[in-house]
Amino acid sequence: MIDKAHPNLSIQRQCDLLTIHRSALSYQPKRSTKLNCELMRLMDEQYLLKPYYGVCRMWEWLVKDKGYKINIKRVRRLYRLMGLEAIGPKPNTSKPAPGHTVYPYLLRGLKVTHCNQVWATDITYVPMAQGFMYLMAVIDWYSRKVLAWWLSNSMESSFCVDCVEEAFRNYGIPEIFNSDKGSQFTSDVFIRVLRKYPTLRISIDGRGRALDNVFVERLWRNVKHEDIYLKGYGSAAELQQGVKKYFLDYNSERSHQSLNYSTPDEVYRSGKGGVACIVDKYPPESEPREVLDEKKGQRLPAA
């Protein structure tokens, strides 16, 4: 945007017009160190195996079992950077985040009998040889088809909106759209996109309950263990091409045992042979209390 050879406007004037500071032109973001990249890769692999590991247990595992001489503050900072959170009971689970609308979970005991009945989404951390990215995907629960996916170097809501809008353009509007309580999915800009469609109902997982969105969690395990960890992509461009190839194979070539060895594309086209029902992993008595609106003291609507 800044033309340093502009004949009429100085660099300072151009910065003033764009409301940016001149020092931003020479700023170079600091890259993650080799040790941090190595630690985040190990933590990501261990978290997939033991998602109940919090900062303390992960730090103990890295120090005692892996022999790293690091302090717990580094692990806590990397947990925040990667967007990881241990699965387990949390304090104040009945209190919604200030300013964010919280919707109930609609999939408990629901029979999923056709495509475009339930879509789900999530974000995961993706390690590379140098640095890392974030991957978001939208899937159809009945067919397991990956409808849209995007990569980003930050966890801003804008790339989440772009991913969802791409799925809507290509496959229409689902009956229910499910996500977790991540700040990206409860932000005003994201909710506004979903609420544009009156027939769409919004569903949000309970806090710390990974199995509420089990199909997306399974997708992350597949793509990481079958592709990302094996390939060790060195750049964002390589990662983009590799993930694109994997998801094409996942949708059109790879047979799924749960789909009677059909591919997601075959099930999505025919509308038959998908996951006919959802088994609830949580008994009703383990449910947290209903999330109440802070101001009105009433449960929020489903859409």
Q: Report which residue type is found at 176.
A: I
Question: What string of DSSP letters covers 43-95?
Answer: HHHHHHH-TT--HHHHHHIIIIIS-----HHHHHHHHHHHT----S--TTTTS
What is residue 281's three-state secondary structure? coil
126 with 275, same domain?
Answer: yes
CA 180 to mean position of chain CA atoms: 8
122 with 209, same domain?
Answer: yes
Question: What mean pLDDT do residues 65-71 have?
Answer: 92
Q: Which helix (H) or strand (E) holds 179?
A: strand 176-179
Question: What mean pLDDT do residues 131-141 have?
Answer: 91
Give pLDDT, residue 39.
Answer: 93
Q: How do beta strands 146-152 and 201-204 pair?
A: unpaired
Question: What mean pLDDT do residues 288-303 have?
Answer: 40
62 with 153, same domain?
Answer: no
Q: Would you say residue 172 lies in a domain?
A: yes
Range of weakest confidence among 21-30, 123-132, 256-265, 268-277:
21-30
Residue 154 vs residues 44, 61, 126, 140, 279: alpha-carbon distances, Å: 17, 27, 11, 25, 34
Torsion angle, alpha carbons of 185, 186, 189, 193, to 10: 70
Number of domains the chain is built from? 2
Task: Check pLDDT > 70 for residue 248.
Answer: yes
Question: What mean pLDDT do residues 161-171 have?
Answer: 94
- pTM listed for this prediction: 0.68
Distance CA 84, CA 67 (A): 22
Task: Check pLDDT > 50 for residue 275.
Answer: yes
Task: Check pLDDT > 80 for residue 282.
Answer: no
133 with 187, same domain?
Answer: yes
Question: Which residue has better confidence, 221 or 24?
Answer: 221
Q: Would you say residue 243 lies in a domain?
A: yes
Give pLDDT, residue 296.
Answer: 38
Query: Each residue of 253-270: pLDDT tens digit?
Result: 988 888 888 999 999 998
As a whole number, the mean pLDDT across the chain is 82
Question: What mean pLDDT do residues 109-138 have?
Answer: 89
Q: Would you say residue 294 lies in a domain?
A: no
132 with 275, same domain?
Answer: yes
Structural domain harbouring 138: 118-286
39 with 142, same domain?
Answer: no
53 with 125, same domain?
Answer: no
166 with 262, same domain?
Answer: yes
Question: What mean pLDDT do residues 283-294 have?
Answer: 39
pLDDT tier for residue 78 given thresholds of 50, 70 and 90? very high
Q: Report which residue type is found at 144.
A: R
